[in-house]
Chain A
Amino acid sequence: MDDLYRDYILEHYKRPRNFGELESPDLEAHAKNPLCGDEIGVHIQVDDGRITDLRFHGHGCAISQASASIASEELIGMPVQDAADLDADWLIELLGIPISATRRKCALLNLKVVREAINGDTSWPAAS
């Protein structure tokens, strides 16, 4: 069993949850990892201050795609302001795999676009 490419990571990569687009999202953002050309966009639907639906789209490596898929399951149902405050530690703990410095950007790209969609924050995460 591979430490990084665990079964559930590969399962999420091959069958990502909540991937696609929403017809009329309340919030959206899109970002690229300039190092590798990977990109992820997000569409978010908000009702009463809560994320009621969310879709990621784009392309990337197994880590970036599985991370988005796993995060999406937590994000749906969450108060929007809680989602805006989520940090890297939350996501990396959620993934449950050792993320090296070189793969950190892959893992965090989905949270980057979520934060950008919610509060226009384009500078997160700061260089680690």
Chain B
Amino acid sequence: MSSLVSTALDLRRDFPILGRQIDGRPIIYLDSSNTSQKPASVIESIDDYYRRHNANIHRAVYQLAQEATDLFEGARDRIAAFTGAPRTGTIFTRNATEAINLVAYAWGREHVGPGDAVLITELEHHSNLVPWQLLCQERGAELRYLTISDEGTLSLHQLDEELARGNVKLAAFTHISNALGTINPVAEMCARVGAAGATSLVDGSQAVPQLPVDVGALGADFYAWTGHKALGPTGIGVLHGRPEILEAMRPFITGGDMIGSVGRERSSWNELPWKFEAGTSMIAEAVGLGVAIDYLSAIGMPAVRAHEQALTEQALAELPDVPGLRVLGPSEAQDRGGVISFTLDGLHPHDVAELLNRDNVCVRAGHHCAQPLMQCLGVAATVRASFGPYNVAGDVDALVASLYRAREVFGV
């Protein structure tokens, strides 16, 4: 079936962990929606930062501090260029969850009040759901959901209807569903939200590593994503925001580095983006993320997307041959990211994942931090295989072969 892949990349040698063997056999890593593996260049950049450049940023005048500051701010410049966002609207956070919470607290608590509504979707990861639940509970606002079709897609018509009710202040939705892979029409959605006078937030955690993303062209007011899914280290995320909105916002976390001046009674705030980066930043992590973005840029996101779409097509063609296997989500690879959720009759997803692990096939089993979505789908859990740019056609074949072996163990 490998012939299906016409745009094959083979980047495995760039990822040291994929050279590791467990029990004498290679690792088939199919859990990139959970976290990605890291290329050697990223790992080395963090090592090099600590060995040669480590100092605190934005403060001291000596050479090392200047180098550390240049590396940190240089990473920001390259990341902003990569996602088509202004530098002043590119804020480093700990992860996407913190980025979304920043908006929920610093923007939401000022702009959402009694009688207002926050609109989210049934596809959301808990990170783009719980912050809005809490906001709405605290502010006496209403949390409403766009529903999904049987294939896990949203309806622009329903979005129009919800916006026409007139009280939506913020609409928050994922770019690519982490559980089903659905790619949402976020440019159209942001345009409609903006036209209705509401603010948009897009969770791009799955999209930045998988698709060419141009935040400016998408028209999102806020766009949050995380580094560790995009070949970068853990502990670093990004919030892109329109500078004029960020300018008008109160700070979120407060303390050092985010201030202009501090008096005994009052303080003023630093300029963007530092106003939202209190305390010593995740310097090494930002440097590592910058190098991860360099790596993705060098391959080119259209090539990454083409490669992962080909793997997805292959999986969508091969998986349904396994008896009792049901794939959830959009039926066409072009409508989904490199994420495939499925169930297997007679085997619970946990048992599937356990048995695949016997073959070093790494998949996720569970609710994928999307419990309301699982309820919509009428399942308690699914098995999820997800791709990174380092996967190859043979990985899909290994997955399918391992699923047959799992069925044999269970005698189904």
- Which of B350, B355, B409, B410 is within 8 Å of A36, CB to CB? B350
Say yes or no: is A94 at the interface (Cβ < 8 Å to chain B).
no
Count how many pairs of residues, one from A and one from B, have CB atoms less than 8 Å apart in the complex. Answer: 44
Chain A's nearest CB lies how many Å from the CB of B404?
A: 15
On chain B, the number of residues with a Cβ less than 8 Å from chain A's Cβ atoms is: 17
Complex contact B411–A61 (CB within 8 A): no
Q: Check A36/B367 contact, CB under 8 A, given A5-B410, A60-B348.
A: yes
Q: Is B409 a contact partner of A5 (Cβ separation < 8 A)?
A: yes
Docked-complex contact B374 and A36, CB < 8 angstroms: no
Query: In the assembled complex, which residues on chain B have CB atoms less than 8 Å from the CB atom of A5?
Result: 351, 355, 409-410
Rounded to whole angstroms, the CA-CA distance of A38 and B351 in the bound complex is: 12
- State whether B374 touches A37 (Cβ < 8 A): yes
* Complexed CA–CA distance, A36 and B350 (Å): 8
Interchain CB contact under 8 A, A106 and B350: yes
Q: Mark B179-190, 1 if CB is under 8 A from A, else 0.
A: 000000000000
A35 touches B366 (CB 8 A): yes
Q: Point out the residue from B347, B380, B410, B411 that lies within 8 Å of A37, measured CB to CB.
A: B380
User: What residue in chain A is nearest B371 (Cβ atoms)?
Assistant: A37
Q: Flag B331-356 by CB within 8 Å of A: 1 or 0 each.
A: 00000000000000001111100110
B residues within 8 A CB of A83? Answer: none
A36 to B351, Cβ gap below 8 A?
no
Tally of contact residues, A, Cβ under 8 A? 17
Task: Tell me whether B381 is interfacial, beta carbon within 8 Å.
Answer: yes
A10-B410 in contact given A36-B381, A38-B380 (Cβ < 8 Å): yes
Q: Which of A2, A39, A59, A106 contacts B409 (CB 8 A)?
A: A2
Q: A5-B410, A10-B411, A37-B374 are contacts. A63–B367 as well, Cβ < 8 Å?
A: no
**Cβ–Cβ contact B348 & A62, under 8 A:** yes
Determine the chain A residues whose CB is within 8 A of the CB of B374 once the complex forms: 37
In Å, the complex CA distance between A63 and B352 comes to 12
Q: Which residues of B contact A36 (CB under 8 A)?
A: 349-350, 365-367, 380-381
A39 vs B375: C-alpha distance when bound (angstroms): 14
Q: Which residues of B contact A10 (CB under 8 A)?
A: 410-411
A106 contact set on B, CB distance < 8 A: 350
| A10 and B355 alpha carbons, distance in the complex (Å) | 14
Chain B: minimal CB distance from A40 (Å): 12
CB nearest neighbor in B for A3: B358
- In the complex, the chain B residue whose C-beta lies closest to that of A4 is B354
Q: Which of B366, B371, B380 has the most CB of A within 10 A?
A: B380
B375, closest chain A residue (CB): A37
A63 and B299 alpha carbons, distance in the complex (Å) = 43
Contact A62 B365 (CB under 8 A): no
Counting CB contacts under 8 A, is A103 at the interface? Answer: yes
In the assembled complex, which residues on chain A have CB atoms less than 8 Å from the CB atom of B351?
5, 61-63
Rounded to whole angstroms, the CA-CA distance of A2 and B357 in the bound complex is 13
The CA-CA distance from A36 to B411 in the complex, in Å, is 24
Give A52-76 as 1s and 0s: 1 = Cβ < 8 Å from B's Cβ atoms.
0000000111110100000000000
Question: Which A residue sits closest to B348, measured CB to CB?
Answer: A61
Alpha-carbon separation in the docked complex, A37 to B348 (Å):
12
Q: Which 6 A-B pairs have the closest CB atoms?
A: A61-B350, A61-B348, A37-B367, A37-B380, A36-B366, A62-B351
Q: List 24 A-B contacts (CB under 8 A).
A: A5-B351, A5-B410, A10-B410, A35-B366, A36-B350, A36-B366, A36-B380, A37-B367, A37-B371, A37-B374, A38-B348, A38-B380, A60-B348, A60-B350, A61-B348, A61-B349, A61-B350, A61-B351, A62-B410, A63-B350, A63-B351, A103-B350, A103-B354, A106-B350
Query: Using a CB–CB distance below 8 Å, which chain A residues touch chain B?
Result: 2, 4-5, 10, 35-39, 59-63, 65, 103, 106
